[in-house]
Amino acid sequence: MVAMSGGVDSSVAAALLMEAGHEVVAVTMKLWGGESDTGCCAVSDVDDARRVADQLGIEHHVFNFGDDFERRVVAPYAADHAAGRTPNPCIECNRYLKFDRLLRRAEVLGFDRLATGHHARVVDTGAGPRLARGADPGKDQSYVLHVIDPHVLSRLMFPVGTMTKAEVRAVAAGLGLRTASKPESQDVCFITNRHGRRAFLGDRIPLRPARVVDGAGHRIGSVEAIELVTIGQRRGLGLAGGTDPRYVIGIDPGAAVVTVGPRTSLDTPATRLESWRWVGDRVGGEVEVQCSAHGVSAAARIDTDTMTVVWLAPHRMIAAGQSVVAYVDDMVVGGGLAGR
């Protein structure tokens, strides 16, 4: 079973598996029933997946997992914003939909493997399969896949994980696939460009105004919705002009207060963790830590006794709710969530 999102990567993944002699069936998940003009949930994406399957001469099916998506991804997304956190819904979709719900469906239907177009690799360590970064550093998606249970990695395939994005597009063009030059989307699939995050959250949770204060607690501005504010934010804080740039360094939803400070106030020697899971043996020494899907990793040590990431050099603050992923030699060795 190949999960086809309507993008070029999953299109090429299906083509490569067919070329290797596998029997391939394409499946597209219908996750979001509301309006969508971004991500992988738009009607046009489902249509692109179907047409590519037709080009390749393989079956194409659509599975409706909308209820699971609402319960596991959309509702927690809104709840996290209400609590002053910055969630990553794509990671939760991978955790609960692609590599749990869909994988279980594949097994019930008798498929041997589930394949996707993600840029990541499954490597055999001798002690079991492990998730590793994809070959293209600029497109690697291991960060958003780190939540996959290591025990199911042996049932997964990432056919484009050893390729660069340019190579993927070249293969698609050579096969004449309609997705060969299709642009990528980095947006949350259920947040439309037309209405945006404010309108989406405003329909689901109360949006409350908040005071903006400096490090001494003096009020210097206000925001219309504290639920839309995140650590490191600079714009939209209602601050008077003519001053040095100030950034969000604290969010207190209970008190309805946003604290700002200079750029240097964002630097921190450690980041608190609210959860952590090692993949395999605990690593006591230095690891590379990545804190966003497209961020640069930094050297650190994970102290699970105090539940902190201890940075080897001062690091920018991480918003509560963001995933923190540790690597050794491009292999995922652990992951968790940043806390306050």
For the record, the structure tokens of 47 come out as 């249509």
Residues taking part in catalysis: 93, 189
Residues 6+ apart with CB under 8 A from 267: 314, 315, 316, 317
What span, in angstroms and rounded, lies between the C-alpha atoms of 172 and 54? 14
Structure tokens at 309: 């990431």
Which residues, 6 or more positions from 259, have their beta carbon under 8 angstroms from its beta carbon?
Answer: 212, 213, 214, 215, 248, 249, 250, 251, 252
Output phi, psi for 292, to 5 deg.
Answer: -155, 160
CA-CA-CA-CA dihedral for 249, 253, 256, 258, to nearest 10? 10
Three-state secondary-structure class, residue 260: strand
From CA 68, how far away is CA 95, in angstroms rounded? 12
Tokens of 138: 């600029």
Distances (CA, A) of 300 to 230, 322, 336: 23, 17, 14
Helices (H) and strands (E) counted in the chain, each on its own, are: 9, 17
* Chain CA centroid to CA 288, Å: 18
At 175 the three-state DSSP class reads coil
Question: Is residue 238 left, alpha or beta, with left meaning phi > 0 and alpha meaning psi from -120 to 50?
Answer: left
Handedness of CA 12, 15, 19, 20 (dihedral sign): positive
